[in-house]
Amino acid sequence: MKIRLQRYLSQCGVASRRKSEEFIAEGRVSVNDQVVKELGTKVCTETDCVMVDGNLVVFDDPFYAVLNKPKGCITAVIDPEGRATVMDYMVGIPTSVVPVGRLDYYSEGVLLFTNDGILANRLLSSRWDLEKTYHVKLQGKIETRHVGIMRRGVRLDDGTVTRPAQVDILASKSRHDWLIITLKEGKSRQIHRMAEALGYTVQKLQRVAFGNITYYGLRIGDARELTREEVHALRKSVGLSSDVVVRGQWAAPREKSEAFRKRQARLLTEQDSVQKKR
């Protein structure tokens, strides 16, 4: 299959299509050992050797997955400090993917993964107003007027004001209030900062939906490949076509990742023991 070079780079997760065009114009991209600066250049995904800054770029079929992220792991592919990452729950995934955006260490819920660079960039762009919904447990009870402020916009610690949001109190017998909050933006730690600006502390945060992808049917720690219908709806929501092949077969139930993580922990313990004996 032949596709335009900038699309190839984008689908490989190198950069957005526009940024990839800049790389080509700057002479940073070579095809079969020849520097290419023409944006109309097409490459064969099966046979051509493409490199950026001397590093080989490998083309994979698009892949899309979702994890119901547990708390106690970081949203990263690897961690230099050796902490658990979300990738520890993606056992047996057939290709390389990266998380789309992030959830904090103690946050739970829907986290998407893909190697589709174009889709990932659009999902995180404020241009498309993609909704993300959260269940949020606050310490104590929230005043009605503060719910109204959250709906209209909260002035944060850096002086910026959040965009209007959907905010409601969930029915609960707890002495602490639960809110359901739907945002169309993604400032760093936004919900925590909104709560703190009004004098509240977030005790628990779960993302229950990212666009059309929800946590329903996924236990904490479960992961699975998205279905064809889910991928097509997700791409359509950010102005992309549905001309991608989706198998929808891979899954990693939490029992599988738990066994893997226990085995890894045991190996690390054995390695530490050997190192100490030396």
Which residues are identified as catalytic?
A: 104
The distance from CA 221 to its chain's CA centroid, rounded to whole angstroms, is: 15
Residue in the structure block whose two tokens are 């791409």: 235
User: Would you tell me how many other CB atoms lie within 10 Å of the CB of residue 129?
Assistant: 12
